[in-house]
């Protein structure tokens, strides 16, 4: 997916969250769209919110770990 498509997806998830605030799946998907644009800090916030709502949401946990790893950079 191209960067502009991730930006479009981000907008759709933000709109969706206005209609269904607290939707863990939508928060996770918003986080994934942000991470795909390289905005890992904002993505982490979304993944953490999704996990607060559903602490057993495996995709959100996995995405959180990936975003945290991306922020920490390669281990040298």
pLDDT digits (tens, 9 = 90+) for 9-61: 999 999 999 999 999 999 999 999 999 999 999 999 999 999 999 999 999 99
| Residue 3 clears pLDDT 70, i.e. is over it | no
Contacts 24+ apart (CB under 8 A), 59-63: 59/28, 60/24, 60/27, 60/28, 60/31, 63/28, 63/31, 63/32, 63/35
The C-alpha atoms of residue 12 and residue 67 are separated, in whole angstroms, by 21
Per-domain residue ranges of the chain? 3-72
- Would you state the pLDDT for residue 23? 97
The dotted CATH code for 3-72 is 1.25.40.10
**Residue 74 pLDDT:** 65
**Is 24 in contact with 31 (CB distance < 8 Å)?**
no
pLDDT at 26: 97
pTM of structure: 0.88
């Amino acid at each position: 997916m191209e960067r502009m498509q991730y930006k479009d997806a981000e907008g759709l998830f933000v709109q969706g969250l206005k209609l269904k605030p607290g939707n863990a799946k939508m928060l996770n998907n918003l986080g994934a769209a942000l991470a795909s644009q390289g905005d890992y800090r904002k993505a982490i916030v979304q993944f953490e919110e999704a996990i607060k709502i559903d602490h057993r949401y495996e995709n959100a946990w996995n995405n959180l770990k990936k975003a945290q790893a991306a922020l920490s950079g390669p281990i040298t």
